[in-house]
């Protein structure tokens, strides 16, 4: 018995961690895809690494990572309690539009306008996400599906507003009025702006709440076993609403920081094209909502995607390949362990 | 309201229902055996792309349809095996598959056709419309079905076949058993994993057919992420129908009409950003209303 046990233990120890295996598997599958399309996979991967991790590329990688980490945190908050928020896109555009309108229309000085934009964007995104929780608690509509379905009206209405009533008529494009320079987020070092600091602060707050507060403990307990949490005195309905509110608030803030920090107006579709929501959700799923792991995964995906631009430039392998790699990593890991509980 | 119920409305509703109905039937098939299929959106997208590839290279719509069904069934192996022998969470697998489909079709679009965004080419043969002379001019049914593609007919036929198989045949009994009581089914000698995998693969073929209708149906074009939420609406139809193909079909009819009314309002000058959200709002309302009634009756 003893030697057998020892043999098994040492084999356990020798087995590489699943995340490394998943990345290796994704890299191999991706290499096959690149080969099949007539390019050299080794060159492509070298360009990804050089284009994201070389010191010259750090600012770009961090700039890309800012919204991605934000959306990953937005996905991780409810996921920690076993809930899934698929509606990040809707909350993102609501926050973006509010962030773009507040400094233009509120009769306050620039910096106050920016702060108001951020606060109102968080409130708007949060309330919209909480709507999905309310639907589940009050009307029994599965949050998984309602959060996603609510996304479409939000995207449609913001798109309509940016194209018709609120359009900047001095340009021919579907975008709102330019935010005045004194209401923009201060630049730290091109292309990074204060939005990155804000997201970093949120990340620290999420880690602290998760590890050191009773609210974080109760949410984790719900994620492990919601009935036990309910039996232990956690009020599940309000908890779901608060988790979704904070999730949506972070998503709304991300939208506002992009608008106030780099785009300076709400441009129809511009917040959704990079698919931050989905990459962020994948990062959160990869770590089952554990904040530090989620942030690490989001940084990894950000590096992958930033490197993808360099790869496309240097080797003409389309950069959407990086999305394929991400999806393979997630699918590989999903096969080895579940989400913990079914949503 | 009177002027809204035109023959054109019924025709465009029947057209909008087709892909959702096929995908919902696929979802019902998976749900019946206890595999929650959240990947319908991605499966349709793979089908839509494969249909264009098949039709472009073989110059035949039939080849496109076949390619769509085979490719999507193959893609569904991920869910079929992932949710059974690999014990993966179907929700995570579904989300992963949707993203994989989105990335993979965009990648292959650039590699095979050298374009991004949308692809259309005269070499792509679309699905022709079949005119049924007996139905032309008949109110309602004729308006809806007199001139539709073969896939529309197939969608309704397949929904009927799946209903019959599920409720009136021994195979259907086993399928339901696998979904409701896998241990009991297994004790009776039913191979649970095999039934689940086969159901998921057949569902994949149906979802692929839905994709073929999207890319080869009304206009022959592939656009990135062209399934545009229809797969999610089908997921809702499956939930509303509680894995009953007939109820799910009824839900699809509701969404199809919401979609068609949206298109109709668009032709009267309402911006499409607003009319496009009609099916999603209808879906959300349907979810709320049916739950209320369920609570009251129980």
State the Rg of chain B over Cα. Answer: 19
Q: How far is CA A303 from CA A92, A190, A253, A332, B292, in A?
A: 22, 18, 22, 20, 47
Q: pTM score, two decimals?
A: 0.90
Query: Which H or E run includes B204?
Result: helix B192-216
The pair of structure tokens assigned to B44 is: 């349709």
> For residue A280, what are the domain limits?
19-336
Within-domain flag for A10: no
- Return the higher-pLDDT residue of B149 and A117: A117
pLDDT at A342: 38
Does A156 contact B116 at a Cβ distance shorter than 8 Å? no
- Best probe of the A interface among B273, B285, B293, B295, by most A CBs < 10 A, is B273
CATH value at residue A218: 1.10.3470
With CA atoms as reference, report the closest residue to B256 among B19, B7, B5, B3.
B19
Look at A25-34, A95-104, B140-149, B255-264 and tell me which has the smallest mean pLDDT.
B140-149
Kindly give the parts of chain B with pLDDT less than 70: 1-4, 292-298
End-to-end CA distance of chain A: 40
pLDDT at B6: 80
Does B280 contact A152 at a Cβ distance shorter than 8 Å? yes
Q: How far does B295 lie from chain A, in Å, by closest CA?
A: 9
pLDDT at B89: 87
Please write down the long-range contacts of B134-139, taking CB distance under 8 Å and 24 or more positions apart.
none
A1: pLDDT confidence band, cut at 50, 70 and 90?
Answer: very low
Measured in whole angstroms, how far is the alpha carbon of residue B23 from the centre of its chain? 2
**Residue A39: DSSP 8-state:** S
A327 touches B: beta carbon within 8 Å: yes
With CA atoms as reference, report the closest residue to A333 among A299, A261, A282, A274.
A282
> What is the spatial distance between Cα A121 and Cα A102, in angstroms, rounded to a whole number?
9
Q: How far is CA A194 from CA A94, A189, A190, A202, A260, in A?
A: 21, 9, 11, 13, 10
| Phi and psi at residue B23, to the nearest 5° | -65, -40
- Return the higher-pLDDT residue of A257 and A144: A257
Within-domain flag for A8: no
Q: How far is CA B166 from CA A105, A210, B144, B240, in A?
A: 59, 47, 27, 18
Domains in chain A: how many in total? Answer: 1
Q: How far does A13 lie from chain B, in Å, by closest CA?
A: 22
**Residue A213: DSSP 8-state:** S
> What is the spatial distance between Cα B170 and Cα B229, in angstroms, rounded to a whole number?
35
> What is the spatial distance between Cα B43 and Cα A157, in angstroms, rounded to a whole number?
28
What is the average pLDDT value for chain A, to the nearest integer? 90
Residues 92-131 of B with CB under 8 A from A: 92-93, 95-97, 99-100, 102-104, 106-107, 110-111, 116
pLDDT in tens, A154-170: 999 999 999 989 998 88
Domain ranges of chain B: 2-231
The pair of structure tokens assigned to B283 is: 């879906």
pLDDT at A2: 56
Query: Which H or E run includes A158?
Result: helix A143-163
pLDDT exceeds cutoff 50 at A338: no
Does A139 contact B288 at a Cβ distance shorter than 8 Å? yes
Q: Is B5 helix (H, G, I), strand (E, B) or coil?
A: coil
Does A335 contact B82 at a Cβ distance shorter than 8 Å? yes
Query: Per-residue pLDDT averaged across A165-192, rounded?
Result: 88
A159 touches B: beta carbon within 8 Å: yes
A·B CB contacts under 8 A: 128
Within-domain flag for A38: yes
DSSP string, A313-343: HHH---TTHHHHHHHHHHHHHHHHS--SS--
A12: pLDDT confidence band, cut at 50, 70 and 90?
Answer: low
A5: pLDDT confidence band, cut at 50, 70 and 90?
Answer: low
Measured in whole angstroms, how far is the alpha carbon of residue B188 from the centre of its chain? 33
Q: ipTM of this model?
A: 0.89
């Amino acid at each position: 018995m003893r030697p057998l046990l020892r043999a098994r233990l040492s084999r356990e120890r020798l087995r590489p961690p699943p995340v490394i295996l998943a990345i290796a598997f994704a890299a191999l599958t991706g290499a096959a895809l690149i080969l099949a399309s007539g390019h050299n996979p080794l060159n492509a991967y070298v360009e990804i690494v050089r284009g994201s991790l070389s010191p010259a590329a750090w600012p770009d990688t961090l700039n890309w990572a800012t919204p991605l980490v934000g959306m990953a945190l937005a996905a991780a908050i409810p996921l920690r309690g076993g809930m899934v928020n698929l509606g990040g896109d809707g909350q993102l555009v609501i926050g973006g539009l509010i962030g773009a309108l507040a400094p233009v229309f509120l009769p306050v000085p620039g910096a106050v306008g920016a702060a108001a934009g951020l606060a109102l964007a968080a409130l708007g995104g949060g309330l919209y996400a909480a709507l999905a929780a309310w639907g589940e608690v009050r009307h029994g509509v599965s949050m998984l599906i309602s959060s996603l379905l609510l996304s479409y009206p939000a995207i449609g209405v913001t798109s309509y507003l940016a194209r018709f009533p609120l359009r900047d008529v001095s340009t021919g494009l579907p975008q709102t009025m330019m935010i005045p320079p004194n209401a923009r987020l201060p630049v730290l070092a091109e292309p990074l702006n204060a939005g990155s600091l804000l997201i970093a602060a949120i990340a620290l707050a999420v880690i602290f709440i998760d590890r050191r507060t009773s609210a974080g403990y109760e949410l984790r307990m719900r994620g492990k076993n919601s009935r036990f949490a309910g039996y232990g005195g956690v009020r599940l309905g309000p908890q779901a609403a608060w988790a979704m509110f904070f999730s949506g608030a972070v998503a709304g803030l991300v939208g506002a920081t992009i608008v106030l920090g780099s785009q300076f107006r709400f441009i129809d579709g511009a917040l959704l094209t990079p698919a931050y929501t989905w990459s962020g959700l994948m990062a959160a799923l990869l770590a089952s909502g554990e904040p530090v792991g989620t942030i690490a995964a989001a940084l990894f995906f950000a590096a992958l995607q930033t490197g993808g631009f360099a790869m496309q430039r240097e080797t003409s392998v389309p950069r959407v390949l990086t999305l394929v790699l991400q999806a393979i990593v997630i699918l590989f890991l999903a096969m080895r362990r579940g989400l913990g509980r079914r949503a | 309201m009177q002027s809204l119920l035109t023959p054109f409305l019924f025709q465009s509703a029947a057209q909008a229902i087709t892909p959702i109905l096929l995908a919902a039937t696929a979802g019902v098939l998976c749900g019946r055996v206890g595999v929650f299929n959240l990947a319908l959106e991605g499966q349709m997208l793979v089908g839509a792309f494969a249909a264009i590839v098949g039709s472009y290279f073989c110059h035949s719509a039939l080849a496109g349809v076949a390619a769509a069904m085979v490719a999507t069934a193959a893609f569904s192996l991920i869910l079929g095996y992932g949710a059974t022998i690999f014990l993966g969470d179907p929700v995570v697998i579904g989300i992963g598959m949707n993203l994989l489909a989105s990335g993979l079709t965009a990648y292959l679009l650039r590699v095979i056709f050298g374009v991004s965004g949308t692809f259309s080419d005269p070499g792509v043969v679309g699905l022709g419309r079949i005119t049924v002379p007996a139905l032309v001019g008949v109110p309602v049914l004729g308006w809806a079905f007199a001139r539709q593609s073969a896939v529309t007919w197939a969608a309704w036929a397949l929904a009927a076949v799946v209903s019959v198989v599920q409720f009136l045949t021994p195979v259907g009994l086993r399928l339901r058993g696998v979904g409701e009581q896998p241990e009991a089914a297994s004790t009776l000698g039913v191979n649970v994993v095999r039934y689940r995998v086969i159901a998921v693969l057949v569902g994949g073929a149906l979802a692929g057919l839905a994709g073929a209708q999207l890319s080869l149906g009304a206009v022959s074009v592939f656009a990135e992420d062209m399934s545009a939420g229809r797969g999610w609406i089908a997921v809702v139809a499956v939930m509303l129908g509680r894995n009953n193909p007939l109820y799910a079909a009824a839900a699809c009819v509701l969404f199809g009409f919401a979609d068609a009314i949206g298109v109709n309002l668009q032709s009267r000058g309402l911006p499409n950003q607003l009319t496009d959200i009609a099916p999603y709002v209808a879906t959300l309302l349907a979810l709320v209303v049916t739950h209320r009634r369920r609570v009251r009756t129980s």
